[in-house]
Amino acid sequence: MKKTLIVGNWKMHLNTQQASLLVRRLGERVPQHRDIETVLAPSMLTLQPISLEVDRRKFRLAAQNANAQDLGALTGEVSFAMLSGLVHYGIIGHSERRKYFAETNKDVRAKVAAAVRNEITPIICVGETRVERTNHETKQVVREQVVTALRDLTGPEAAEVVIAYEPVWAIGAGRPASAAAITEVVAYIRLIIEGQFGKNVADAVRILYGGSVEPDFVANILSIDGVDGFLVGGASLNYQQFADIVTKAHQLAAAKEQHA
């Protein structure tokens, strides 16, 4: 059985002391669960100090971004090669990077390859904007994002990646996408991967939902077929909310295991 994967993306929030305090509070509140994998994505600045403080039995770390090249004259950048050994995961292609930093599907593809080359598991964000949804372009947009991102990978490499379906219109909206919308796109993503790499790879890939996830929505969304966890933004900065999300996910996983 796949573990439920819950990733907290802290974005450009929290200085070193604030990040350290949040890690301590989360450590007190989040119990160790063998059926849940909890991942924290602090800012690049705080990754290193947090890595020394975090309880590794409970948390893994993710980078929010990195450069596709391993090294070079690229002032201000940090590469996946430099992050190797420090983080398990790298968030790639978040809609904010696509929107504010003009990241294209080709850029995402290069970053995915760089992460894999450096033994970091990519968490690839895909999802349509409101306008694209209104124009019935969701499937076309998501297909292009997924196919391009995975193009350089072998089947076994693709099986290890994480895809986060984040409808852009649901991010920070206060309400997640409907179960029907999530169900349809998550199933479609598996179909795309099946076409690219076969059914075994499609089944193995972990698919997360992201967009306004809060504790109250956990049970509903995790009961959707094919959803393996969450990418959480705002609620991951609140230790009570994030710990509640993890705890609810654990209760659900434990109940499922009992009925299996």
> How far from 47 is each of 10, 23, 27, CA to CA, in Å?
11, 11, 16
Out of 88, 94, 128, 250, the active site residue is 94
CB of 195 to ligand PEP, least distance (A): 26
Ranked by CB distance to ligand PEP, the top (closest) residue is 233
Chain residues that interact with ligand PEP, rule: CB under 6 A? 9, 166, 171-172, 210-213, 231-235
CB of 235 to ligand PEP, least distance (A): 6
Greatest alpha-carbon pair distance for the chain in Å reads 56
> How far from 138 is each of 101, 130, 175, CA to CA, in Å?
22, 9, 19
Nearer residue to ligand PEP within complex by CB, 166 or 244:
166
Nearer residue to ligand PEP within complex by CB, 20 or 212:
212
* Catalytic residue status for 136: no
Neighbours of 225 (CB within 10 A): 9
Nearer residue to ligand PEP within complex by CB, 205 or 232:
232
Name the token pair of 234. 């705002």
CB of 84 to ligand PEP, least distance (A): 24
Which residues, including other chains, have CB under 8 Å from residue 165's CB and lie 6 or more apart? 126, 127, 142, 182, 185, 186, 189, 207, 208, 209, 210
* Catalytic residue status for 13: no
Burial class of 104 by CB neighbour count within 10 A (0 to 12, 13 to 18, 19+): exposed
CB of 209 to ligand PEP, least distance (A): 9
Helix (H) or strand (E) holding 146: helix 138-150
Nearer residue to ligand PEP within complex by CB, 211 or 229:
211
CB of 211 to ligand PEP, least distance (A): 5
Which phi and psi (to 5°) does residue 218 adopt? -60, -50
Nearer residue to ligand PEP within complex by CB, 173 or 254:
173
Q: Report d(CA 11, CA 255) in Å as an integer.
A: 32
Annotated active-site positions, please? 94, 166
